[in-house]
Structure 1
C-alpha cells in the first residue's frame, strides 16, 4: 500500500494505518524528546501521550506540513509543559555532577555496575561529547533549545520549525543564531578537548576510568573534533560537534545506559531531581537485566 493511501486511511481514524506512519519517525521523536528532557521514563510517557493526542486530533491534520512535522509540534507542546517547571541549567552543571560522583561512593559504584554489566554500558568519548552537547543546550531558553535541536541535529527546515514553534522565519533565524553563539561561547571556554585552558576534561577523565588500558591521547586524536581544534575556527568546531551528535541516538547507543546514569547524577547535583537513586520502576540503569 502506498504511503498516500495509508495516510488517507489514517485520516479516517484507522489506528493501524496511523501506527504505521508514526512508527517511521518514532525513534527519532523519542531521541528528540530525550534531548529536551533527559529522563527515559518521562520520554516514554511523552511519546505515548503524543501518539494518543495526535491520533485523537488526526482529523485536524490539514496536510499543510508533513505528518512528522505536525506530530513533532504536538510533542514539543507536551514537552513544554514539563520544561516550564524546570530551571535552565548552569554552564557548570557537569562539574557539579562530577563533584557529586567523586564524593559519593554509592554513585561511583552505580557507574561501575552499569559499565560492567549493561549491554549499553560502554564508554566512548564521542558519546560523552553528545552528552555534553545536551547538557550545554539546556542552558538555553526552551524555544532556543527546540529551534537549535530541530535544525542542527534533526535537519528540520526553517519553515517547519516556524510551524512547530508558531514563530515567524525572522524570529526562528534569530533563535538559531543566538543559540549557536551561546553554545559556541560555552564550549570555547569549557572544553579541554579543543582548548588547553578549558575547565572541563570529563571526556578524557571518564575514558581513563572506564577504559584504563587505552591510551587517552590516542582516543582523543581519533576524534575529528580534536584533530581540527588546532585551527580553532569556532563555526567549524560547532559544525563538527553537531555532525557527531547527529550520528548518535542517545537512547540506543552502545553507552546509553552509562550516559543516562551520568545524566541522573548531573540532574541530582543541580537539584532537578531530589535523589540520585531511582524508584523501583526505573532501576533499569542500575539493573539492566531485570525484567
Structure 2
C-alpha cells in the first residue's frame, strides 16, 4: 500500500516520491548500464539522464509494466543512442588490451598503483571472469546482448524484455537463443579455465602477477566453473558462468577499480578511447 501511495505521488509530480522509487533499483540499473557502456562516467551520465527523462515523462507511465521495467526501457534507449556510432567488439579485444599493457610501462604502473592504493584494487579470478563476460557479451549485436543480460543476469521476464526492447515474444526468444549459443561457443573455444584448448589464460596469468604468493591450483579449485569443467557439457558450464556473474556487481566489488582501469586500457586498444591517460589525476595540462 505504501509503495502504491508513493507511486501515485510520483505520478502527480512529487520528485521526492519518484526519487525514493528510483533509488530502489538504481544500483541494479547502474550495474546493467555498466555491462553495456563499460565506462563508469558514461554510466553516471546515462543514469542521470534516465532519471530526468523518466520523471519528465511520468505522466505517460500507464502501469502496463512495473515502474522499474519502464525506467529500464528508457535507460536502454539512452544507452542505444550512446552506443550507436560504436562498432561491436571483436573476440580478441582482451588480447589487444593485454598487448597494449605489455608494451606500455606507464599502463602497467597505473595497474600497480590502483592495485596497491585503492580499497577496490584487489584482484580475484571470479571477478575477472565477470569482467570477461562483460567483454565477450559486447561482441553480440546490442539487442542480443540486452536480452541476454536482462533475462539471465537480472532476472527480467520475457514479457518485460518485450516491453523494454519493443519486440514480440517470438523475437525476444530468438534473440536469447542466438545470444546464448554464440557466447557458449565463444567461451568453449576461448576460455582456458574450462577447455585445455582455450586461448585465453588471462585469469590465471593476472592472478600470478597480483597475487604471487597464492596457490594457483587451490584458487582455481575454489571456482565451481573449474571444478565442473571435466564433467559438465558446454551448456551447463555456461550456466555456471552466469551464476557466478549474477553474484557480482561490477561497480561494487573488491576489484572494481582495477578492472575499471583494465577496461580503459581495452577501450584504448580497440580505438574506442583516444587516450588511456586523459583522465589520470594530476596529468600535466
Give TM class, smaller chain. Answer: over 0.9
Instruction: Report the Cα distance in structure 1 between the residues aligned to 2:236 and 2:113, rounded to whole angstroms.
Output: 37
Instruction: Give the number of equivalent residue pairs.
Output: 283
CA displacement, residues 18-57 of structure 1 (integer Å, 9 cap, x when unaligned): 0000000000000000000011001000000000000000
Counting only pairs closer than 5 Å after superposition, residues 65-144 of structure 1 correspond to structure 2 as 65-144=65-144
Answering whether residue 199 of structure 2 is matched by residue 199 of structure 1, we say yes
1:165 is aligned to 165
C-alpha distance in structure 2 between counterparts of 1:124 and 1:25, whole Å: 26
1:230-275 CA-to-partner distances (Å, cap 9, x unmatched) read: 0241111111111100111101101000000001111111111111
TM-score by length of 1: 0.96
| Shift, 1:85, TM fit | 1.0
Distance (Å, rounded) in 2 between the aligned partners of 1:234 and 1:13: 50
**What is the TM-score normalised by the length of structure 2?**
0.97
2-side partners of 1:38 and 1:278: how far apart?
Answer: 17
Gaps of 5+ in 1: 287-291
The worse-fitting range, judged by mean Cα deviation, of 229-238 and 154-163 is 229-238
CA distance in 2, matches of 1:181, 1:112: 37
User: What SS does structure 1 have at the residue aligned with 2:120?
Assistant: coil
- Equivalent residue, structure 2, for 1:242: 242
CA RMSD of aligned residues (A): 1.2
Instruction: Give the unaligned 5+ runs of structure 2.
Output: none
> Helix, strand or coil for the counterpart of 1:119?
coil
Structure 1 CA distance, aligned partners of 2:275 and 2:205? 25
Q: Separation in 1 of the partners of 2:275 and 2:178? A: 34
Match of 1:146 in 2: 146
Partner residue in 2 for 1:289: none
Partner of 1:217 in structure 2?
A: 217
Q: CA deviation at 1:278?
A: 3.0
Structure 2 CA distance for aligned equivalents of residues 143 and 125 of structure 1: 28
The SS at the match of 2:4 is helix
